[in-house]
């Protein structure tokens, strides 16, 4: 622990100016074991992908969501706001009367924030490097849906609550399964019953048996979603009609997807994370669209799921919830230290 409110045990090397510490983080919370337990699917289909597409991703992320703006502008003057998963920093400094600190798992995105003059550092959402009660408010915008297990998503919520003062507010937004534009779902690749070797249930990776021949790398890298007909063909080959019915029912409640990101050929770096992505198996070429295509992992939230998740966390109450731009959103208030 250093004197800037940052926990050195989380592996942070950035020397950035921050406000004086407010409280002391416990030794138990300082453990970096959570970071070391990051599932491989997140490392490959979230961390490595965003590292590779960071410059292009940043160039497309400039519009502020009105609901997030309203939340930030309503905070008292002088508030310290923590942005967990700040991306390219588009919300950092939005309220000129408040002080912002951001963090993100992607070093290239953090470098972009640094170039803009923001106070940021590299950190994992489930192991935030701030002392307990450090901020007046916190936001997590479009982050939790990249965490592949319910326990990790709950852990991220616990961290957001931990790092704010009693009475502090936390805004969380996640992608909704109930998309306003239904056609988008047809462009996403679902992780279906065909891949039971990889999944126990919604967002929960399974430890595969030694006899399993499937791996994450064997999941088809296709831009278009696997259709019901493809599922039908798969189950028909197995000769199990009950499994076919089960698959159809499961597709109606699909929540695990690969969402494509098209990086135009002219944006692929001569050197850097995107240069050898195709050769390394991280991406594929789409000559028709003139782009390198990356798959990003998403667990899209069903209606009521975010509320159930946060209700399982102690020390906070829900003060508002709403649906906005195909996102489920919730505002929490910390009730105890």
pLDDT in tens, the chain (337 residues): 544 445 544 444 444 434 443 333 332 333 333 444 789 999 999 999 999 999 999 999 888 999 999 999 999 999 999 999 999 999 999 999 999 999 999 999 999 999 999 999 999 999 999 999 999 999 999 999 999 999 999 999 999 999 999 999 999 999 999 999 888 888 999 886 444 344 444 444 443 333 333 333 333 333 333 233 322 222 223 334 443 444 444 456 789 999 999 999 999 988 888 889 999 899 999 999 999 999 999 999 999 999 999 998 999 999 999 999 999 999 999 998 6
Asked whether the beta carbons of 80 and 314 are under 8 A apart, the reply is no
Predicted pLDDT at 32: 37
Residue 204: both structure tokens together: 């929960």
Helix (H, G, I), strand (E, B) or coil at 174: strand
Instruction: Tell me how far apart the alpha carbons of residues 34 and 155 are, in angstroms, rounded to a whole number.
Output: 9
The predicted structure's pLDDT at residue 299: 95
What pLDDT does residue 160 have?
Answer: 98
Check residue 254 and give its pLDDT. Answer: 85
SS3 call for 49: helix
Q: 95 with 9: CB under 8 angstroms?
A: no
Q: Which of 337, 284, 286, 291 is nearest to 314 (CA)?
A: 337
How far from the centroid of its chain's Cα atoms is residue 256's Cα? 13
Residues 122, 108: Cα–Cα separation, whole Å = 9
pLDDT for the residue 63: 87
In whole angstroms, give the CA distance from residue 106 to residue 124.
9
Which residue in this structure is represented by tokens 């138990």? Answer: 28
User: How far is 145 from 143, CA to CA, in rounded Å?
Assistant: 6
Closest of 153, 93, 159, 97 to residue 120, by C-alpha = 93
Which ranges in 194-288 belong to alpha helices (H)?
A: 228-238, 241-251
Q: Tell me, what's the pLDDT at 251?
A: 55
Q: Which two tokens stand for residue 191?
A: 């992780």
């Amino acid at each position: 622990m250093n004197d800037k409110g940052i926990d050195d045990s989380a592996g942070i090397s950035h020397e950035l100016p921050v406000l004086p510490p407010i409280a002391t983080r416990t030794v138990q919370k300082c453990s970096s074991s959570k970071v070391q337990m990051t599932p491989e699917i997140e490392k490959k289909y979230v961390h490595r992908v965003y590292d590779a597409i960071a410059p292009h991703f940043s160039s497309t992320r400039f519009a502020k969501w009105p609901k997030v703006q309203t939340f930030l502008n309503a905070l008292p003057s002088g508030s310290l706001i923590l942005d967990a998963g700040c991306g390219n920093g588009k919300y950092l400094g939005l309220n000129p009367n408040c002080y912002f600190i951001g963090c993100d798992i992607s070093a290239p995105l953090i470098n972009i924030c640094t170039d803009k003059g923001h106070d940021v550092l590299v950190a994992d959402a489930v192991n935030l490097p701030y002392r307990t009660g450090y901020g007046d408010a916190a936001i997590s915008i479009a982050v939790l849906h990249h965490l592949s297990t319910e326990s990790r998503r709950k852990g991220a919520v616990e961290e957001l609550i931990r790092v704010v003062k009693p009475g502090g507010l936390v805004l969380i937004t996640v992608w909704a399964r109930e998309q306003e534009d239904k056609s988008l779902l047809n462009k996403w690749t679902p992780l279906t019953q065909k891949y039971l070797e990889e999944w126990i249930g919604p967002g929960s990776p399974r430890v595969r048996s030694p006899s399993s021949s499937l791996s994450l790398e064997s999941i088809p890298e296709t831009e278009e979603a696997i259709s019901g007909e493809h599922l039908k063909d798969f189950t028909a080959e197995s000769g199990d009609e009950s499994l076919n019915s089960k698959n159809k029912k499961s597709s109606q409640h699909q929540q695990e997807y690969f969402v494509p990101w098209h990086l135009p050929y002219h944006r692929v770096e001569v050197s850097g994370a995107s240069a050898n992505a195709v050769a390394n198996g991280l991406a594929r070429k789409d000559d028709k669209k003139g782009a390198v295509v990356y798959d990003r992992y998403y667990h899209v939230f069903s209606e009521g799921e975010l509320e159930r998740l946060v209700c399982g966390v102690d020390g906070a109450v829900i003060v508002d919830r709403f649906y906005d731009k195909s996102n489920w959103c919730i505002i929490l208030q910390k009730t105890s230290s």
